[in-house]
Amino acid sequence: MDCTTLLLIDDHPLFRKGLAQLFDASDDFEVVGQAASGREGINLAVSLTPQQVLLDLHMPGLSGLQVLDELRQLRLDCQVVVLTASMDRAELLSALRLGASGYVLKETEPEALLAYMRNCHKGAIMLDSTLIALLADPAEPRPHGETPGGENLTEREGQTLALIAAGMSNKQIGRELGISDGTVKIYVRSLLQKLNLHSRLELAARVHSGALLKHEERH
């Protein structure tokens, strides 16, 4: 079985080394690099081209959000999962808008973290009850220029969006709808463009926050 290549970016040596041991001990991850700062992490991401990056949100110097923004601008073909010690709504929304593929608490159990990273790699989106509660704020202003929820979605796009929010990967969505993985990818790209979003996680978050569901209830 091919291993998922992983880069760790965290300024705490003991925690970072513990993560490295956890992932290296699994059968399906290979830690290809470890960085103690945001700048070092960006440089390693460019040179090592890992499939996944596990990124500490709170670091001196470049913050995790700044690193996430630079990685997005570099258009690297990797998933970035944010690791944080506390749940902050503003930080969560910022990470989503910058294209984070996942958002995990540092207190997560080791096996649960491994499972979360595996699901992210497969393209499945996982939002736990804590994240959903953080997102459920109807007073959240819509960013300038963002398309209102759902007006222009086709029936198939709406079905795809609902299945993304349910945590399904492209392969699972394809099986559910009786279409190919490639067709699902086209729908996902269209959803991101129409809703002015940057990642599958942000699509799922929009559904769970009620921004799209409320629109559907009006029709």
Assign domain 126-219 one CATH number from 3.40.50.720, 1.10.10.10, 3.30.390.50, 3.40.1390.20.
Answer: 1.10.10.10
Task: Say yes or no to pLDDT of 142 above 50.
Answer: no
The whole-number average pLDDT for the span 19-33 is 95
pLDDT band at 203 (very low <50, low <70, confident <90, very high): confident
Nearest to 157 by CA among 139, 147, 133: 147
**Residue-range domain boundaries for the chain:** 4-122, 126-219
Nearest to 169 by CA among 194, 188, 149, 145: 188
Q: What is the pLDDT of residue 153?
A: 83
Task: Say yes or no to pLDDT of 217 above 50.
Answer: no
The domains spanning 4-122 and 126-219 adopt the same CATH topology:
no
Please compute Rg for the chain using Cα positions. 17
Look at the domain 4-122 and name its fold: Rossmann fold (3.40.50)
Report the helix count and the strand count for the chain, using DSSP H and E.
11, 5
The percentage of the chain sitting over the pLDDT mark of 90, rounded to a whole number, equals 40
